[in-house]
């Protein structure tokens, strides 16, 4: 299996939050909506983060398998949501 494919399957691990990290607002997800997952973090962790797109907007979805909760950041422009996702990966936002 090519290295790129393997990396895509597992996804990256999020860095631990830095002391000065931005605290994101997490909402209960709305009911039925068609969502496309663009990118996701590694599923070996209890909490996974997904960059999602729907109806021309994007957001980050957080799934906590221990607490069995799903939360989303506010829907926004894809460029902004990508930035938030990157910040989460680097431990600069949660
Ligand atoms: Zn992993």
pLDDT digits (tens, 9 = 90+) for 82-91: 999 999 999 9
Q: How far is the CA of 41 from the centre of ligand 1 (A)?
A: 8
The total number of structural domains in the chain stands at 1
Q: How far is the CA of 81 from the centre of ligand 1 (A)?
A: 22
- Give domain status of residue 94, yes or no: no
Domain of 51, in residue numbers = 3-89
Residue 84 CA to residue 27 CA, distance in Å, equals 15
**32: pLDDT confidence band, cut at 50, 70 and 90?**
low
Q: What is the pTM of this model?
A: 0.83
Lowest mean pLDDT among 28-37, 52-61, 65-74: 28-37
- Give domain status of residue 9, yes or no: yes
Q: How far is the CA of 36 from the centre of ligand 1 (A)?
A: 22
Q: How far is the CA of 70 from the centre of ligand 1 (A)?
A: 19
Three-state DSSP class for 46?
Answer: coil
Q: What percentage of the chain has pLDDT greater than the value 70?
A: 88
Q: How far is the CA of 89 from the centre of ligand 1 (A)?
A: 13
Exposed / middle / buried, residue 7 (Cβ in 10 Å: 0-12, 13-18, 19+): exposed
State the pLDDT at residue 8.
55
């Amino acid at each position: 299996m090519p290295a790129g494919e393997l990396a895509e399957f597992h996804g990256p691990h999020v860095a631990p939050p830095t002391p000065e990290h931005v605290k994101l607002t997490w909402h209960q997800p709305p009911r039925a909506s068609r969502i496309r997952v663009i990118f996701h973090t590694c599923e070996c962790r209890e909490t996974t983060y997904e960059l999602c797109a729907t109806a021309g907007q994007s957001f980050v979805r957080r799934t906590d398998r221990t607490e069995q909760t799903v939360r989303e950041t506010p829907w926004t422009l894809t460029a902004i949501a990508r930035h938030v996702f990157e910040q989460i990966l680097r431990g600069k936002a949660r």
